[in-house]
Each structure stands twice: as C-alpha cells, then as structure tokens.
Amino acid sequence: MKNLLESLHRLHLNVGRPSVSEISEKSGKPTDGDGYLGRSTISYVMSTPRLPNFRKMQRLVAVLVEFEPTGSMDLDLTITEFSNLWKAAARAEDSPPPSRRVQELRQTANAYLRLADQYQRAEHMGGRVISQRTIADEWAYVAELSAPLLGDDHPVTVEARERAGNTDSG
C-alpha cells in the first residue's frame, strides 16, 4: 500500500500538484456518473492507508495524467503501472505479515523442531562408528538447545547432559 500511495503522490507532484478542486473539475461533473471524482473521493484515494477502489484509483491516475504539462506521459503505461501497484497492495492486504506474537511463536516452534532434529541425530550417532567425543558434543549441543526452551530440570535437558557426560569418558 505504501508504494501505491507514494507513487500517487509522486505522480501528483510530477504533474504540477493540482488542487483537489482542480482534479475534481477536470474529472467531469457529478452527473457524469462513474467518471466524476468528488473532492472527498480524491482525498480518500490519495491519503487513506486502506486500499482504494480500483476504478476510482484508475480514474484519478487518468485525470492526473491530463495535467502533465508537456503531454508526454503515456496514459496506458501509467494506468498499467498503477494497476500493478494496486494489485500488489491488494495481495499484501489479503495476506498481511504475521504479527510479532505469531513471529515469536514460529521462532519458538522452529527452535523446538531444531531441538527434536538434533536429539534424533544424537540418538542415531550411537549406532555408527563415530568417536565418543563427537557423540558427547552432539548431546552437549542438545542440552544447550533444550535448556532455554524446556528448562534446566526438564528430562530432555537432564538426559542430554548425562549422555554428554557419560560418553565423554570413552
């Protein structure tokens, strides 16, 4: 949405910053139906943090292009650019970024999954021909991962520390 609003304001600036009244007048008369843009509609499209009506936004862009002093701005290209910006904003609005709490929960969930994977890896190391030091290091890492997540007294943490210590002697 931010890109759309910034682009609308940049277009407005590039065409000489016509007033809301001038834009409204250039859009037609209230009796013209959908083509007419009232001052409140223009203000809404140019400033609201919510996604504006697609047709109103397209009409505003078309009217602003008419203000371009040299007449060198390509209307179709500009409408396409703003349509793409609007669609991107609509997609982002449909799938807003996760809240901070959701992000924290995902990080925690990922940490638990990493711990589970590491635990499984350490379990399977014992059946292979690997140095006892390597196995001890794996269990120490499991303990390191589990302590902040589960606590120092949790059975997984305690077991991982014990296994790290038991294999350390071999």
Q: What is the pLDDT of residue 128?
A: 73
- Rounded Cα gap, residues 27 and 160, in angstroms: 73
* Cβ partners under 8 Å of residue 96, min gap 6: none
Taking residue 161's Cβ as centre, other Cβ atoms within 10 Å add up to 18
d(CA 20, CA 45): 11
Closest C-alpha among 138, 128, 124 to residue 167: 138
The whole-angstrom separation of Cα 147 and Cα 32 is 70
| Structure token pair of residue 51 | 């996604």
Tell me the whole-structure pTM to 2 decimals: 0.57
Each residue's pLDDT, cut to its tens digit, for the chain (170 residues) gives: 889 999 999 999 999 999 999 999 999 988 877 789 999 999 999 988 889 999 999 999 999 999 998 878 999 999 999 999 999 999 887 777 777 887 887 788 888 888 898 899 888 887 775 788 888 999 999 999 999 888 999 999 999 999 999 754 44
**Per-residue pLDDT at 170:** 40
